[in-house]
Amino acid sequence: MPLKKLDVLVVDDSAFMRLLISDILSEDEGLNVVGTASDGKEAIAKVAEHKPDVVVLDMKMDKYDGLYAVKKLMKENPLPILILSALGNTDLEPIFDALKYGAVDYMTKPNRGNSKMRQMNIELINKVKSVARAQPKTAKKYPKTARSYNHSFKGSSRYDIIAIGASTGGPSAIEEVISDLPANLNVPVIVCQHMPANFIAPFVARLNALSPLNIVIGTESMVPVPGTVIVCPGDSNLILVKDRDTKKIKISFTSKKYPEYNNPSINALMHSVATHYGSRSMGVILTGMGKDGVEGLRAIREKGGYTIAQDKRSSVIYGMPKVATESKAAAKSLDIKEIGGFIVNRLED
């Protein structure tokens, strides 16, 4: 018996782009374009009419834009949404807002030439299929200014570093965890989020607006220090190494290719954390498809470090955390809203 096709609604203010995207998706026998819409308001009506499995949504549309549609749909009729927008080339803030309000994933529409859109056909089809597996969720609303509080640490920390890895659904999950960490955090944090390279700097700026911690992009020879959150660049695999002269642990990059996910690889980060910090390390795997980070997380646990995975209920995509939990690489499974506080309490000596 053939598998049921995924019904897709395409929303874009360009008639030509609606046709092009529909043609690309219709080439796959597993997808069925049930309708199109020209703005956010029409999208809401078409969702009610066709009840699609996935919405492919542009962001910049006249009057009723993509963010309007995401907010209304996730409140009234939640379903998986893929953002497909040229805003990814210029202004990423609305895309992060859309993810915060419940959109699952994003793709950047090419600036020049419709032929480039056609060249992205396989990537687009695969994205739609992966987004369809998501559990749609409306993320927590955050204040525009950093939330600041101090934790009354009673002594030295039980751990010396925290490594966090995430993929699909990760930006909002990471925001949740980082915003729950205190201003006087006594260990460094390194974050590896599967994300295009040009998204990293705006993502770091966004995190800085939510947290009193110093959040930076990792660079060669940077030394992780308490109170700093280092985010891996999106075009390389960040690892930790020991300096021959100072014996301090510092950031470097490896040319090794990682089959689970490359640039940035969560496994690359976590294996190096396990090597240099051992039982003094903590690893966290958040929402995402696939299994990147699971072997690295297992290495941390085998060295005596503590490991956490996001639970199924709060994960947008219960892929990486599921494998981590079922394979016993993770010692604890937690709701995303509990992870930040749990980390802080776990640091107590």
Looking at the annotation, which residues are catalytic?
167, 194, 292
The 8-class DSSP code of residue 348 comes to B
DSSP 156-186: SBS-SEEEEEE-TTHHHHHHHHHHTS-TT--
Nearest 5 degrees, angle CA 251-CA 255-CA 259? 110
Whether the CB-CB separation of 170 and 199 falls below 8 Å is answered with no
Whole-angstrom Cα distance, residue 231 to residue 204? 7
DSSP 11-28: E-S-HHHHHHHHHHHHTS
The 8-class DSSP code of residue 58 comes to -
DSSP 180-221: TS-TT--S-EEEEE---HHHHHHHHHHHHHH-SSEEEE--TT
Whether the CB-CB separation of 254 and 220 falls below 8 Å is answered with no
Whole-angstrom Cα distance, residue 56 to residue 71? 15
The 8-class DSSP code of residue 316 comes to S
Token duo for residue 53:
């499995």
Provide the β-strand partners of residue 200.
Answer: none
Among the listed residues 266, 277, 287, the one whose alpha carbon sits nearest the alpha carbon of residue 188:
277
Q: What SS3 state is found at 121?
A: helix
Whether the CB-CB separation of 137 and 159 falls below 8 Å is answered with no
